[in-house]
Amino acid sequence: MARSTGYPHPHRHPVHHVAGHQLVVRIMLGLLFVLAVASAVAIYFQQEDQFARMTARRTELLQAQAIAEHRHEDLLALKNQVDSDAYIERIAREKLGMVRPNEILFDDP
């Protein structure tokens, strides 16, 4: 029978060495978890900031679209007005001083 000398078996790790290894593994896992959570929080805030910028830009674009639609309606109304005989006659009379044939123009001093 082998006599115990109090020294650990050469192929076995001492108990305190195994506990130290487990502590290092737990610390590493804890650090990885903290890093993952910190990354997730940073990504969340970046997305919130980007969402806020996109919302503001959307509001600007909707306002620009409303202005463009109003301008388009004004231009369509002007086009319809310009294409009318009454508008052409008014411009001819006011800007060019033209009159119809056989029309008598009285100038009031």
Give pLDDT tens digits along the chain (109 positions).
455 555 555 555 555 567 888 999 999 999 999 999 999 999 999 999 999 999 999 999 999 999 999 999 999 998 888 888 888 888 888 888 888 887 777 777 6
Rounded to the nearest 5 degrees, what angle is found at the Cα of 98, between the Cα atoms of 93 and 103? 100
Among 20, 40, 22, 18, which Cα is nearest to 30's? 22
Query: Which residue type is seen at 99?
Result: V
Find out whether 60 and 52 touch, Cβ atoms under 8 Å. no
Task: Fill in the DSSP letter of residue 3.
Answer: P
